């Protein structure tokens, strides 16, 4: 019924779910997030946010907060792993910011998550609520949780990540494709690094593997690294596990002394399977749609997974802003139509890990402003 306050259930309180909750609340939708986890841990990981994502955060009133906790690199360097020769460098100072309308920011993943959570009232997030079943009718969606409880809303937004059960119900069971590679990643105090000096943000590239190293705060007192390391035998079921430091050092023994210096200083590391999917044929069924990694998981080589989830949240809010409750299915289709071409293209580009291609396409990635881009009907 037109004029009635719309209600939305969001499954998952990751970057995509939180950004969606904040943006839907701003347009007057009554939102509840259902999150399976009881609490969020500060896992050692950094995250890059490109100008396209920072522009969305600006519209959400979060730019200053995120800038204040992030490292803002003047330059990202791409170096040959063994010799350290410069392959490419991207200047990211004032000119870059002016060109793309926002900076490139590097920060701790938990700081970005906390920033997004800070604009979502605590009582909007229901924890220990694992969605196990759902049904929709002409007016809304009923949801059923592992603890025996249920809920109903006018629409359900599934931001439930790469292993999304909602995606599985829409498209059938299918594991994400394991790339045969793992990411070792961690954050630790810069002071532990002896004898070598770390640059602000560098990707060290060999033929079959790479490592990205950067600071995660303006003080530069915490350093992060993430690798892409071949390991086809990794048991993908374990998804994330403790990494073996000796093995890591062996894997990167041919790398430049700066890289080895960082790895030798590292006290502990986690290991993640790197997975991806091809673009899905559709994201929306009636009053249910997918958002973020549930519909466009990608390799992290362009550092765009969370950024594109945050973009999704802005476009979804724009599509729903003027929709009555009966218009919701149409508004969700319009959201999908406006997002799928861009995210499918970024999934494909990221998968190549081709810096020549990234260089060619960066204008298209970073110039995008989800608040202003015209919406196709
Ligand atoms: C090594 C690595 C490095 C990366 N680096 C970057 C980077 O630099 N920049 C960038 O932008 N992106 C990066 N990404 C990608 C980014 O982490 C993801 O794209 C992003 O976290 C996706 O957010 P999401 O909200 O869609 O999903 P998630 O963050 O996975 O959140 C899903 C949430 O749903 C919950 N959930 C799942 N199932 C259910 C259920 N049945 N019921 C209730 N709750 C449920 C989960 O507990 C979780 O909290 C990286 C990824 C990796 C692996």
Atom of ligand 1 nearest to the CA of 292: 26
Cα(51)–Cα(366) distance, rounded to whole angstroms?
Answer: 5
For residue 214, indicate whether it is catalytic: yes
pLDDT of res. 240: 67
**From the candidates 34, 78, 214, 301, which is the catalytic residue?**
214
Please report which helix (H) or strand (E) contains residue 61, including its range: none
At 4, is the secondary structure helix, strand, or coil?
coil
SS3 assignment, position 141: strand
Cα 297 from chain centroid (whole Å): 9
Consecutive 10-residue averages of pLDDT for the chain (377 residues): 80 98 98 96 93 98 98 96 95 94 97 98 98 97 98 98 96 92 96 95 96 98 98 77 93 97 96 93 98 96 97 98 96 98 96 91 96 94
Regarding beta strands 201-205 and 75-80, do their DSSP bridges make them parallel or antiparallel, or are they unpaired?
parallel
Report CA-CA distances (Å) from 173 to 142, 170, 232, 273, 276: 22, 9, 22, 19, 15
Burial 333-365 (b: 16+ CB within 10 A, else e): bbbbbbbbebbbebbebbbebebeebeeebeeb
**Model pLDDT, residue 241:** 85
CA 297 – ligand 1 centroid, Å: 9
Separation of CA 349 from chain center = 16
- Ligand 1 centroid to Cα of residue 243, in Å, is 20
| Contact by Cβ (8 Å): 250, 215 | no
pLDDT of residue 252: 98
248: closest CA among 232, 228, 233? 228
pLDDT for residue 355: 87
User: What kind and span of H or E run contains 320?
Assistant: helix 305-320
Strand order in the sheet with 131-136: 131-136, 141-145, 150-153
Looking at residue 1, what is its pLDDT? 42
Residue with token string 């970073």? 366
Task: Encode pLDDT of 148-176 as tens digits.
Answer: 999 999 999 999 999 999 999 999 998 89
pLDDT of residue 238: 64
Tokens encoding 159 = 């931001």
Where does ligand 1 bind, in terms of residues with CB under 6 Å? 11-17, 34-37, 47-48, 129-131, 159-161, 165, 183, 185, 226, 272, 292-293, 300, 303-307, 309
Strand order from edge to edge, sheet including 288-290: 125-126, 30-34, 7-11, 155-158, 288-290, 284-285
Burial class, 250, CB count within 10 angstroms (exposed 0-12 / middle 13-18 / buried 19+): exposed
Query: Which ligand 1 atom sits closest to the C-alpha of 53?
Result: 11
pLDDT of residue 2: 47
Helical H segments across 27-158, by residue range: 51-59, 63-69, 94-100, 109-117
């Amino acid at each position: 019924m037109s004029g009635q306050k719309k209600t939305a259930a969001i499954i998952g309180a990751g970057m995509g779910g939180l950004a969606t909750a904040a943006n839907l609340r701003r347009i007057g939708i009554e939102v509840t997030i259902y999150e399976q986890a009881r609490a969020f841990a500060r896992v050692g990981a950094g995250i890059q946010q490109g100008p396209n994502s920072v522009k969305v955060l600006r519209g959400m009133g979060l730019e200053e907060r995120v800038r204040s906790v992030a490292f803002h690199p003047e330059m990202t360097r791409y170096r040959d792993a063994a010799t350290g020769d410069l392959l490419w460098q991207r200047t990211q100072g004032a000119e870059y910011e002016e060109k793309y309308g926002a900076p490139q920011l590097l920060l701790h993943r938990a700081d970005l998550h906390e920033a997004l959570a800070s604009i979502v009232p605590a009582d909007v997030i229901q924890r220990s609520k694992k969605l196990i079943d759902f049904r929709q009718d002409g007016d809304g969606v009923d949801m059923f949780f592992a603890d025996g409880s249920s809920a109903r809303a006018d629409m359900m937004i599934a931001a439930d990540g790469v292993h999304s059960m909602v995606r599985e119900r829409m498209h059938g069971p299918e594991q994400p494709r394991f790339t045969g590679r793992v990411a070792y990643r961690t954050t630790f105090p810069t002071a532990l690094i002896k004898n070598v000096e770390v640059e602000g943000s560098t990707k060290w590239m060999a033929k079959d593997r790479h490592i990205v190293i950067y600071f995660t705060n303006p003080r530069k007192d915490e350093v992060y690294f993430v690798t892409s390391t071949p390991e086809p035998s990794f048991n993908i079921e374990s998804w994330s596990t403790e990494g073996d430091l000796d093995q890591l050092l062996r894997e990167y023994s041919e790398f430049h002394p700066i890289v080895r210096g960082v790895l030798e200083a590292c006290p502990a590391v986690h290991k993640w399977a790197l997975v991806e999917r091809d673009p899905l044929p559709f994201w929306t069924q009636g009053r249910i749609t997918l958002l973020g990694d549930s519909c466009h998981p990608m390799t992290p080589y362009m550092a765009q997974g969370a950024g594109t989830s945050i973009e999704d949240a802005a476009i979804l809010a724009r599509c729903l802003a003027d929709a009555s409750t009966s218009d919701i299915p149409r508004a969700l289709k319009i959201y999908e139509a406006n997002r799928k071409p861009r995210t499918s293209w970024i999934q494909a580009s990221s998968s190549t890990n081709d810096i020549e291609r990234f260089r060619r396409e960066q204008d298209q990635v970073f110039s995008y402003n989800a608040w202003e881009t015209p919406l196709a009907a």
